[in-house]
């Protein structure tokens, strides 16, 4: 007996070896996709009639600071350095475990509602992040954001905390939680620290999540300090590999692009955040052209200001087209691939396709909407016309987290109320 059968579905498989299936079925058992096709002999405890709507892999958000829902709209319209150093970091110094817990609950709620089934996070108070992820039912690759600023003692403390978190949570929540090391960036972490982090990550057999070349200021700083850009600097210490997830990657030369592709580095393109902070335009079309694995991420809610991966897909496509004046780059299918297949690869999870033996991480998108009518090309609609609020049902690891717009596991109204109260307390704490 299977657990769930979804019938009458337009299956956007995202499997390069399999075309979309109209009027198809998806059979789910033990957290995995057991069968897909035109029909099935299987029986299940639960049947879902998709009513001809789209069934597709859940979206994978590969760069987030989930707890930063706390700071949604808190400090807008300023450049990155000012934003981080004078607003975000002083505020983060005053947040509690409980603040991060509620912030992450709200983020999980928002992601489940808008069709994200897995995300990569780098933040603080990570035990509370992991607890919120565990309880929500979503999947995540979590890391404690480590910064040493060249201070040897701080480096020891940060690495110890990063390692403790990695060991304590890897594989938890029925395997939905995996862990990574999260050195913040090459201009906030020392060379020696980055070398130690890489060694430890290899030893622990986990991945690394880092910000790279988000700003021109980082590029200039690295050139002044080390005579090379961050990409060459990290190459020289043997940091690069397919175990690395590098966020932003904006200020790249053609040579840098080659290095990232050759080392199989996973890149998270964070287009909305990069536009909002005016950090720059990442050379995504060039990266994809040389075979680099480029995925999409929202970054935190203080620089986006939401976690809607549908918006991220559309914005990524549009910005790249206009920035190089070529409407043929980043066509809809490729952008969908970035948000699903490439994202799953970046996190090292067997998700991102509707395919036998893959994790049952999938969503149903409600096509019975004015802005999705008519529907000539489903992939086009998912990228250019739909948004997160069109997601009707979300399934992660074979469990229904939202059905017919109703979220389970999380108490939506109580989380919203708690966040309203928390934000008021937090602002008075920050200002005191
Ligand atoms: C993990 C750390 O990263 C910070 N953080 C959040 N957004 C960005 C960004 N766009 N660039 C660099 N750091 C960021 C968080 O505020 C936290 O301090
Ligand atoms: Zn970030």
On average, the pLDDT of the chain sits at 98
At 182 the pLDDT is 99
In a domain, 429, yes or no: no
Whether 300 lines ligand 1, by a CB cut-off of 6 Å, is yes
- Indicate whether 66 and 93 sit together in one domain: yes
In a domain, 206, yes or no: yes
Our CA dihedral for 326, 331, 337, 340, rounded to 10 degrees, sits at 100
In a domain, 21, yes or no: yes
Tell me the per-residue pLDDT of 3-37, one tens digit each, with 9 for 90 and over. 999 999 999 999 999 999 999 999 999 999 999 99
Q: Which residues of 391-406 are buried (b: 16+ CB within 10 A; e: fewer)?
A: bbbbbbbbbbbbeeee
In a domain, 418, yes or no: no
CATH number where 35 lies: 2.30.40.10
Tell me the per-residue pLDDT of 343-379, one tens digit each, with 9 for 90 and over. 999 999 999 999 999 999 999 999 999 999 999 999 9
Tell me the per-residue pLDDT of 220-260, one tens digit each, with 9 for 90 and over. 999 999 999 999 999 999 999 999 999 999 999 999 999 99
Q: What are the structure tokens assigned to 56, written together?
A: 């597709």
- From 313, 347, 381, the end of a domain falls on 347
**Residue to probe by mutation, ligand 1, list 61, 64, 65, 76, most atoms within 8 Å of CB:** 65
- Indicate whether 223 and 309 sit together in one domain: yes
- Indicate whether 281 and 371 sit together in one domain: no
Alpha-carbon distances, residue 257 vs 226, 291, 344 (angstroms): 20, 10, 21
At 187 the pLDDT is 98
- Indicate whether 69 and 40 sit together in one domain: no
- Indicate whether 320 and 365 sit together in one domain: no
Residue 22 CA to residue 355 CA, distance in Å, equals: 15
- Indicate whether 13 and 130 sit together in one domain: no
Whether 218 lines ligand 1, by a CB cut-off of 6 Å, is no
pTM above 0.90, yes or no: yes
At 432 the pLDDT is 86
In a domain, 121, yes or no: yes
- Indicate whether 208 and 133 sit together in one domain: yes
Structural domain containing residue 176: 59-347
Tell me the per-residue pLDDT of 126-159, one tens digit each, with 9 for 90 and over. 999 999 999 999 999 999 999 999 999 999 999 9
Whether 299 lines ligand 1, by a CB cut-off of 6 Å, is yes
In a domain, 428, yes or no: no
Whether 65 lines ligand 1, by a CB cut-off of 6 Å, is yes
In a domain, 412, yes or no: no
In a domain, 431, yes or no: no
- Indicate whether 258 and 299 sit together in one domain: yes
Q: What are the structure tokens assigned to 178, written together?
A: 């995996």
Atom nearest to 122 CA in ligand 1: 1
CA 429 to ligand 1 centroid distance, Å:
21
């Amino acid at each position: 007996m299977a657990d769930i059968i979804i019938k009458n579905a337009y299956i956007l498989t995202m499997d390069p070896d399999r075309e979309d299936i109209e009027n198809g079925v998806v059979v789910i058992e033990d957290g995995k996709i057991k069968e897909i096709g035109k029909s099935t002999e299987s029986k299940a405890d639960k049947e879902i009639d998709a009513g001809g709507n789209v069934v597709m892999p859940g979206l994978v958000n590969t760069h987030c600071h989930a707890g930063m829902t706390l700071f949604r709209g808190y400090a807008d319209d300023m450049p990155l350095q000012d934003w981080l150093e004078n607003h975000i970091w002083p505020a983060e110094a005053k947040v509690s475990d409980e603040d991060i817990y509620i912030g992450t609950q709200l983020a999980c709620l928002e992601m489940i509602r808008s069709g994200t089934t897995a995300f990569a996070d780098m933040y603080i108070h990570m035990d509370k992040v992991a607890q919120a992820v565990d309880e929500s039912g979503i999947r995540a690759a979590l890391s404690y954001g480590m910064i040493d600023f060249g201070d040897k003692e701080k480096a020891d403390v940060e690495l110890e905390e990063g390692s403790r978190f990695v060991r304590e949570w890897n594989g938890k929540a029925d395997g939905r939680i995996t862990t990574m090391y999260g050195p913040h960036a090459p201009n906030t972490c020392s060379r020696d620290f980055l070398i130690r982090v890489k060694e430890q990550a290899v030893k622990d057999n986990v991945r690394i999540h880092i910000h790279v070349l988000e700003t021109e200021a980082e590029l200039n700083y690295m050139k002044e300090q080390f005579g090379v850009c961050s990409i060459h600097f990290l190459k020289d210490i043997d940091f690069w590999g397919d175990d690395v997830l590098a966020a932003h990657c904006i200020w790249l030369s053609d040579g840098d692009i080659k290095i990232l592709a050759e080392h199989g580095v996973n890149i998270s393109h964070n287009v909305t955040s990069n536009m909002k902070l005016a950090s720059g335009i990442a050379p995504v079309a060039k990266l994809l052209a040389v075979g680099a694995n480029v995925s999409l991420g929202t970054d935190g809610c203080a620089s986006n200001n939401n976690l809607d991966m549908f918006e991220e897909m559309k914005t990524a496509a549009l910005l790249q087209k206009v920035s190089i004046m070529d409407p043929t780059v980043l066509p809809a299918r490729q952008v969908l691939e970035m948000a699903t297949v490439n994202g799953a690869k970046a996190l090292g999870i067997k998700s991102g396709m509707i395919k036998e033996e893959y994790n049952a991480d999938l969503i149903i998108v409600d096509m019975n909407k004015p802005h999705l009518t008519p529907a000539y090309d489903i992939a086009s609609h998912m990228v250019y016309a739909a948004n997160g609020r069109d997601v009707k049902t979300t399934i992660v690891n074979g469990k229904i987290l939202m059905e017919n717009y109703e979220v389970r596991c999380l108490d939506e109204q109580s989380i919203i109320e708690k966040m309203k109260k928390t934000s008021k307390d937090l602002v008075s704490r920050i200002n005191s």
